[in-house]
Structure 1
Amino acid sequence: MQKVWSVLMVLGLSVAQAPQGAVLLRLNEAQQAVVVGAFQGGRWIEAEKLSRLEARRYQVFGPAGRINQAQGAGGLQTPEICDWNRETLLALLERRAIQYPAYAISAPWNPQPRPVVSFAPTPAHRQAVAAELSRRNIQKAPNITQALRADLDADGRDEVLLSANQPGFSLSNGRIEGSYASEAGDYGLILVRKLLNDADLRTFVLDVTHLEKPFDGSEGMPTVVTRRLGAILDLDGDGKMEIITEDWVHEGWGSTVWRWNGQQFVKVLEWGCGV
């Protein structure tokens, strides 16, 4: 599964050439970090366009905030599987449990300038999810798996970010695993509820997928429908926070960075690896 990127098409670029830039890593497990991409010179850059990476200090985040810090040794490695990826060594500096995936960012600015808060969803939030499922003729009940609140664009109004999954997440050895769909209507969904003004509340669906018919094993591998909020961070230094979402496929996973452009949420960076 090689994904398409929104990128600056410059070969052999070194992050060292732009010390004010940011580097974003995804940690799938301890000591294993893949480069999602970088932001420098006002542009988003995919990992495979980087020729070198200096040793850097990173802050590590999960969906609801900072969870660790890390030291990157620098250097880039190319794995045999998904050879468009770049990996780098990373050592966690604090002795605390981490749930993977997690995200490490090295940047000269505060990557989370406003708090991200996890909260218990209300009936109104379940109704919002149910409405989006109904629009897609998905008959299963809303099962909200994450509910986060944050002021993404510093306008003084909190956005509500929800993930909903049926079946829900599975957890193995401290790592979130994607769940295989087997029944018609199994789904994964990520949405944002945003007040455009005091009287205009909109719902923006970032990602949604579902199984249209039961899986009987006659058409290849089963579908993985899990969709998850990975982190909420300012990745480009403008004081506004981007949303990192996660998806899974059979023996693979991916991350997507979304940015609010004043009218809608748009993809600015996408990474994935799978067989």
Structure 2
Amino acid sequence: MKKLIFMTILYAFIILVGCDKQITNNPDQQYSQTPTDKRELISESPSNQNQDSSGDKNSETKWLSFSFENFKKERQFVKEHHKDEIRDIEDGKMGNDKVVNIGIASEDINNDGVREVIAILSNRYYSSSQANAALGVYIINNEKVERYIPLTGIFVDTSNIEKQSEIGIVYSKIRDWADFVINGKRLVWDGTGYVNESKNQKDNVEKSFVPIIYPMNTCAALVGGIQDNKWISADLFEQLSGNSETDKREFCQRIVGGEKYKFYSIDKEIGEFEGQKVVEENGPGEWFSVGYTPTLENGLEAIGICGDWNALPRIPTIQKENTEQYESAVNDVLTDRGLGSVPAVIKQAISVDLDGNGTEEVLINATNIDYSKNKFAEENTYSFIILQENVGGKDKSFVITENYYKETNENEPVLYNTVPFIVDANGDGKMEVVTKSEYYEGFSLNFYEMNNGEALHVITFGLGA
């Protein structure tokens, strides 16, 4: 009798332990998180068993573990993004196979500290002689797919999707974005998408260059771009193709026309415009123009980026009044530059979260120059841009660009500085500050990348006498 009671208690204990394990191993509960980055990943699956036990990012291939059941919210985002084709499949318009199976995995692909969604879509519609499923990366922001990056078609055993070894990633030592290994082929990020690593250098240059243009009247100036995740400034043709005129013209021919540019103002996306072939211009100076259609609204200032990402992931707030709280930062600069007795005048303050960490930085445009009336130096005038950020609970300010005039000089044109754009020009999720310095017969545009409290000058373009 005592033995029977003991065995009953032992059996009950085993059941309770087993139930507890089932609860704590539920992926949707155990791995629920709310990252500080606004691109929230609602849930995570358990870490891949093939991951290096050290947890370090290394050069080993990490095979992705997909799930057809977990990641319910992420799966809904993917379904919504492909809703038209999925509806046609389920209605039988694409054949007798009416079921789309969606496998979900998650990894930090672009090294920003936030996991992206990676999805396999399995249906006969996606099958070909070289694939039985479609694969893509989805960047989620504000409860929807902000950016979709298609990958190559794949062959994968969908019956063993959690332990497959056909789709993996390798964290690159030379690129911010991880490489993909798919069916034995390695795909690398080229600035706009993933391309086969085995493509020759010329093909990669042609595909990976992302031009940036500045619209002016009926055409736009080619101000620079992104090449292999590197900033290319206005002299990009000399950098990439050599110094000869023949090389420059040959490179121009690679921008063939028909490229799609998204135009942005300081606080909104204006729309999509189609670019034309690059034309070499002479006077004033040597520069390269790009025609575009349709015509930009008269008087609207914009920057055009030939990338498929949202270059305005966070909207700047412009403040032209009640800027007294920033006067002390301006006075500190004036005092340091020997103009301490000159009153602080703030044209505007622009608040925006540059790096997506949830904390806004402030760009302060300080000037006492009336540029509409006088374009030459007057005594005790200035024009400069300050970036103010919060570091350890304290406001820290530093100057991005500056010009001061302590004496009147009718022969010295002033440089009048503004901030016309704040955009994510290279698609890394962080926003660059673009300043414009106008003078009597010209202007320059300068792109600054913010990195650990420093403004790194990455692109410059000037036009004028």
Return the TM-score normalized by structure 2: 0.49
Distance 1:214 1:93 in 2: 41
2:207 to 18, 31, 43: 18
AA at the equivalent of 2:401: D
Question: Which residue number corresponds to residue 9 of structure 1?
Answer: none
CA distance in 2, matches of 1:149, 1:56: 32
State whether residues 447 and 460 of structure 2, in contact with CA within 8 Å, keep that contact through their aligned partners in structure 1: yes
Unaligned stretches of 5+ in structure 2?
1-201, 238-250
Is residue 118 from structure 1 mapped to residue 306 from structure 2 by the alignment? Answer: no
Residue 4 (structure 1) aligns with: none
Structure with greater contact order relative to length (CA < 8 Å, sep ≥ 6)? 1
C-alpha separation in 1, matches of 2:445 and 2:407: 26
How far has the Cα of 1:31 moved from its partner? Answer: 1.5
C-alpha deviations, 1:111-166, integer Å up to 9, x for none?
11111111234211122222212211224322222221110001110011111222
- Aligned identity (percent) is 22
Q: Which residue pairs with 1:5 in the alignment?
A: none
Instruction: Call closer, same or farther: CA 1:165–1:91 in 2, change over 3 Å.
Output: farther
Q: How much does 1:223 deviate? A: 2.0
- Say whether 1:203 aligns with 2:397: yes
8 Å contact from structure 1 (residues 228, 246) kept in 2:
yes
| Other-structure match for 1:148 | 350
Superimposed CA distance per residue, residues 174-233 of structure 1 (whole angstroms, 9 cap, x where no aligned partner): xxxx95144211111111111123x23210200110112112x4xxx3322310002001
Aligned equivalent of 1:3:
none
**Within 1, Cα distance between the matches of 2:447 and 2:357?**
20
| 1:222/1:250 contact within 8 Å kept | no
Matches within 5 A, 1:1-275: 17-19=206-208, 21-28=209-216, 30-48=217-235, 49=237, 50-52=251-253, 53-54=255-256, 55-83=258-286, 85-92=287-294, 96-100=297-301, 102-119=302-319, 120-138=321-339, 139-170=341-372, 179-197=374-392, 199-215=393-409, 217=410, 221-275=411-465
CA contact (8 A) 2:316 2:351 kept: yes
Alpha-carbon distance in structure 1 between the residues aligned to 2:290 and 2:276 = 7
CA–CA distance in 1 between the matches of 2:299 and 2:440?
24
CA contact (8 A) 2:385 2:418 kept: yes
Q: CA deviation at 1:97?
A: 4.7
Match of 2:366, as an amino acid? A
Secondary structure at 1:75 match in 2: strand
CA–CA distance in 1 between the matches of 2:384 and 2:203? 36
Cα gap change, 1:182 to 1:81, in 2 (>3 Å): closer
Q: Structure 1 51/107 Cα, relative in aligned 2: closer, same or farther at 3 Å? A: same
CA apart distance, 1:43: 0.9
Q: Is the 8 A contact 1:18 1:40 kept in 2?
A: no
- The two structures, once aligned, show a CA RMSD in angstroms of 2.3
SS in 1 for 2:273: strand
Q: By how many angstroms is 1:245 displaced? A: 0.4
Look at both structures and tell me which one has the larger radius of gyration over its CA atoms.
2
Contact 1:71/1:90 (<8 A) preserved: yes
How far apart are residue 40 of structure 1 and its match? Answer: 2.2
Q: AA paired with 2:430?
A: K
C-alpha contact (below 8 Å) 2:225/2:233 kept by paired residues: yes
2:41 maps to none
Equivalent residue letter for 2:314: R
Matched to 1:24, the amino acid is I
Q: Is 2:355–2:430's contact at 8 Å kept on the other side of the alignment?
A: yes
1:15–1:253 Cα change, 3 Å: farther
Assess, with a 3 A threshold, how the Cα gap between structure 1 residues 121 and 25 changes in structure 2: closer, same or farther: farther
For each residue in 1:29-54, what CA deviation from the matched residue of structure 2 results, as whole angstroms up to 9, or x when unmatched? x2131011010211111344153323
Q: Is the 8 A contact 1:233 1:243 kept in 2?
A: yes
CA separation in 2, counterparts of 1:14 and 1:23?
A: 16
Task: Return the letter of the residue paired with 1:192.
Answer: L
TM-aligned CA distance change 1:208 to 1:121, over 3 Å:
farther
For structure 1, the residue ranges without an aligned partner over 5 or more in a row are 1-12, 171-177
Q: Which runs of 4+ in 1 moved over 4 A?
A: 13-16
> Whose strand fraction is larger, Structure 1's or Structure 2's?
1
The answer as to whether partners of 1:167 and 1:181 remain within 8 angstroms in 2 is no
Q: Contact 1:246 / 1:253 at 8 angstroms: preserved in 2?
A: yes
Contact 1:190 1:208 in 2 (8 A): yes
How far residue 103 of structure 1 moved from its aligned partner, in angstroms, is 1.2
Aligned length: 246
Tell me, in whole angstroms, the C-alpha distance in 2 between the residues paired with 1:64 and 1:270.
Answer: 22
Equivalent pair of 2:345/2:366 in contact (CA under 8 Å): yes
Task: Tell me the amino acid that sits aligned with residue 327 of structure 2.
Answer: R
The 3 A distance-change label for structure 1 pair 154 and 250 is: same
AA matched with 1:269: I
